[in-house]
Every structure is written in C-alpha cells, then in structure tokens.
Amino acid sequence: MTLEKFDDNGQPLWKVNAKNVVYSQDNKIANVLKPKGNLFQSGRVVLQVEADRGQIFDDGRRVLLDGNIVAIDPRNQAVLKGNKVEWNPENSILIIQDNLRGNNAQLQASARIGRYYTKEQRMELQGQVVATVKAPPLRIQTRYLQWFIAQEKVTGDRTLRVAHYEKSDQPLSPAPSPSPNAASNSVPNQSAIESAELPDLPPTPQKLIQQVEAEEVEYNLKTKIAIFKENVQLNSIEPPAQAVSNNVVWNVEEEIITSPETIKIVQAKDQITVTGNQGILNLKTKMANLTGGVQATSDRQKSVIFANQMQWNLDSQDLQATGNVIYQQENPILKVVGSEASGKLNTENIVVTGTQNPGGQVVTEIIPE
C-alpha cells in the first residue's frame, strides 16, 4: 500500500510504501508495517528511508519510525541509522533519538541523539559523541558536534578530545553504542542528553601520534586542517612534547602546529619550557619557531634565555636565539646580553654573541653572591 503527502503547492513531502496499514478509530493515526519510501524537499528526494514500523500523525505532518531505521541522503551518500526516528516534513528535520550511527566516505559517527537538517545537509550530534575520520585517522570525542556534510567540515563548542593515529590498512575500532534513552516519543532535553560522561573507547591497533584537548574545534575534512580555540593542549608522543595555547591551527597531515597567539611548549623529560607570542611547531622535523617575547627556561639547570625570535630543535635541544638576547643562570650567577645566542639550554652550553650597541661588544654581568 502506498501513502503520500503533498504541501500546499502540490509538491510531494513524502511517499511511503508499507506492507500493511492500520488506522486508529478516529483515522488520525496510521500504523504502518515495514515502511519504505522517500522524503522530499522542493520536489527532490533528500532521504530514502526504511524501518520496521511507523506511525503517521496529523495528516502526515509528523512521522514516527521505529526499529532498524536506515536513512540515506542521495545527495551526499550519508547513511543514518537508529532505532527511533521522528520526521517533521514542514521543518525538514529528521530526529534520531536512539543509538544514532552515521557515516559517509569521510567520517563515521555515533551519538545518543541526532538531528539532521535536510535543507542544510547538517547533522547535530549530542551526548557521548564519537566521530572517526578515515583519512588521516582521527577520533573525536565530545558531548556535542555539528557535521556539515555538504561543506565537508565538523565543528564543536564543548570540551573535546581529538586523537591522531598512525596510518594503517586497518580502520579504527568503532565506538561502542551510546547508552540508549528510555523509550519515548518525546525528545529529551539538551542537559539530560549531554550529562553522561564520554565513553571509554576500545583499544585500537593503530599507534597514537598526537592528542589534542580543547573547548572548540573546526575541522575541514577536505584540507585536513583543524582550528582549536580555548584551553588548547596538544600532547605529542614523538617527539615527546606538550603545546598549550588558546588558538591553534593544526595541519594534521603535515603534523604542523601554528599559533597566532601566546604558545607554550613543554618538554618534561629535559624540564624545558619555551614560550612566545606566536609560534610554529613542526612535529615531523621536531623544530619549533617562536617569535615575540620568547622565553626559554631550563628548570633543571636554573637558566633562562629571553629573545625576540628563537628556533629550537626538540630532538637535539639545539637552539638559535636572535634579537635582544638575555641569558641568565643561577650557578654560577651570570647574566649575558647580546644580539644572538646558540647552544643547548639543557647543558648550559650557551654562546652569546654581538650586540645592537655601538662597538659590537657582548655585555656580561657577573653577580656576586
């Protein structure tokens, strides 16, 4: 049996074939078995949907689907699955309330609840969100994420974790199914959806390379570039280092971290911290370039260098500092001022040369105990 609904202009809103249809006594609710059909927008198919069961309310203005639901958007090949779905044709919103899973060629995601806005081709994921990017392999955990499928990007404005793994022929392990909501035809409120802790993820055979925590993210699935904002902390496995800032641009494929704001790079093994007003950290070459008010501190050696610019090799610990260089150490107490410096901060093997003052002499100040 075929059921269909048209708008005021005669354009189709939906068309469904069902194995069986049973109407309520007042004919206001149609109960359908094995519904399969199309959802339309401006006369064009935007979703191909099938389910185990369904109910049609208010003369087709509200459609509920239940059990093994599969919805495919032919425009972008996104596949959405869940156990409970509500379709609002007039608002062009598909709400998946139970065990949302979605994927296309770029990304696979799961969440407690999802809202798919068919006009914008935008998916909102809420509660225990886990999104896996296929290339390069990334795994995003958060409480709320927006997936702009047509624009090929994801954004989030809740606390999140992004893990970057080594390339492998094997896909990342899928996330566990989110905790189901109680059976209901109503949508839970946002605070209830997002109250649960992020799930523990299963182990994966891929090697973890870097992990980032932040409050906001925008990731371009096409360019492979992520922009993080607020309390950004990147942890690198190799080289072992931590970068902290409030604004970070991460080229995931090139493994290059850029910050237009204050950035602090810490290497705990050698107890060295380097801070600058701006910075670039290349994790492949293990080189950091910082500019503006640069300060490099060795907690172990009790020494510090101030400069306008600095290059630091995180592997060899070699550094090159230029512009208004000041080197200070505690044992013996020493202060040296010049225009350039080079050496290794972790061994106090530092050579300061030149000066911006007439005469070209390095100024050395020995402070008596």
Q: How confident is the model at residue 146 (pLDDT cuts 50, 70, 90)?
A: very high
* Same domain as 36, residue 152: no
Does residue 88 lie in a domain region? no
* Same domain as 313, residue 303: yes
To 10 degrees, the CA torsion angle through 5, 7, 13, 17?
Answer: 10
Instruction: Tell me what pLDDT residue 90 has.
Output: 80
How many domains are contained in the chain? 3
The domain boundary residue, chosen from 220, 237, 261? 261
* Same domain as 244, residue 104: yes
Query: Are residues 193 and 126 in contact, defined by beta-carbon separation less than 8 angstroms?
Result: yes
Q: State whether residue 152 is helix, strand or coil.
A: coil
Give the model confidence (pLDDT) of 55-106 as tens digits. 998 777 889 999 999 999 999 999 999 999 998 888 889 999 888 999 999 9
Does residue 89 lie in a domain region? no
Q: Which of the residue ranges 119-123, 171-175, 177-181 has the most confident prediction, judged by mean pLDDT?
A: 119-123
Query: Are residues 29 and 48 in contact, defined by beta-carbon separation less than 8 angstroms?
Result: no
Query: Measured between alpha carbons, how far is 169 from 121 in angstroms, rounded to an integer?
Result: 30
* Same domain as 204, residue 126: yes
The domain boundary residue, chosen from 43, 77, 111? 77
Rounded mean pLDDT, 186-191: 50
Rounded mean pLDDT, 321-333: 90
Helices and strands: H and E segment counts in the chain: 1, 31
- Quick check: bond before 239 cis, omega within 30? yes
* Same domain as 252, residue 234: yes
Phi/psi at 246 (5° precision): -105, 0
* Same domain as 244, residue 125: yes
* Same domain as 32, residue 108: no
Q: How confident is the model at residue 187 (pLDDT cuts 50, 70, 90)?
A: very low
* Same domain as 254, residue 109: yes
Rounded mean pLDDT, 337-363: 77
Does residue 82 lie in a domain region? no
Q: Could you list the residue range(s) of the whole structural domain that residue 278 is in?
A: 262-369
Q: Return the closest-CA partner of residue 234 out of 168, 220, 191, 217.
A: 217
129-133, 192-196, 321-325: least confident range = 192-196
Instruction: Tell me what pLDDT residue 185 has.
Output: 44
Looking up residue 364, the CATH number of its domain turns out to be 2.60.450.10
Q: How confident is the model at residue 184 (pLDDT cuts 50, 70, 90)?
A: very low
* Same domain as 352, residue 279: yes
Query: Measured between alpha carbons, how far is 13 from 263 in angstroms, rounded to an integer?
Result: 52
Query: Measured between alpha carbons, how far is 69 from 49 in angstroms, rounded to an integer?
Result: 7
* Same domain as 359, residue 273: yes
pLDDT at residue 182 tops 50: no
Q: CB atoms < 10 A from the CB of 277, how many?
A: 15
Query: Measured between alpha carbons, how far is 113 from 264 in angstroms, rounded to an integer?
Result: 37
Does residue 52 lie in a domain region? yes
pLDDT at residue 329 tops 50: yes
User: Which amino acid makes up residue 15?
Assistant: K
* Same domain as 283, residue 235: no
Does residue 85 lie in a domain region? no
Q: Which residues contact 192 (CB under 8 A, 6 or more apart)?
A: none
- Between these two residues, 58 and 19, which has the higher pLDDT value? 19
Does residue 86 lie in a domain region? no
* Same domain as 70, residue 60: yes
Query: Measured between alpha carbons, how far is 9 from 146 in angstroms, rounded to an integer?
Result: 32
Does residue 91 lie in a domain region? no
Does residue 310 lie in a domain region? yes
Query: Measured between alpha carbons, how far is 291 from 240 in angstroms, rounded to an integer?
Result: 22
Q: Return the closest-CA partner of residue 232 out of 196, 255, 265.
A: 265
Q: State whether residue 348 is helix, strand or coil.
A: coil
Q: Which H helix or E strand runs over 194? A: helix 190-194
Rounded mean pLDDT, 144-171: 92
Q: What Cα–Cα distance (Å) separates residue 160 from each residue in 69, 180, 290?
A: 29, 21, 26
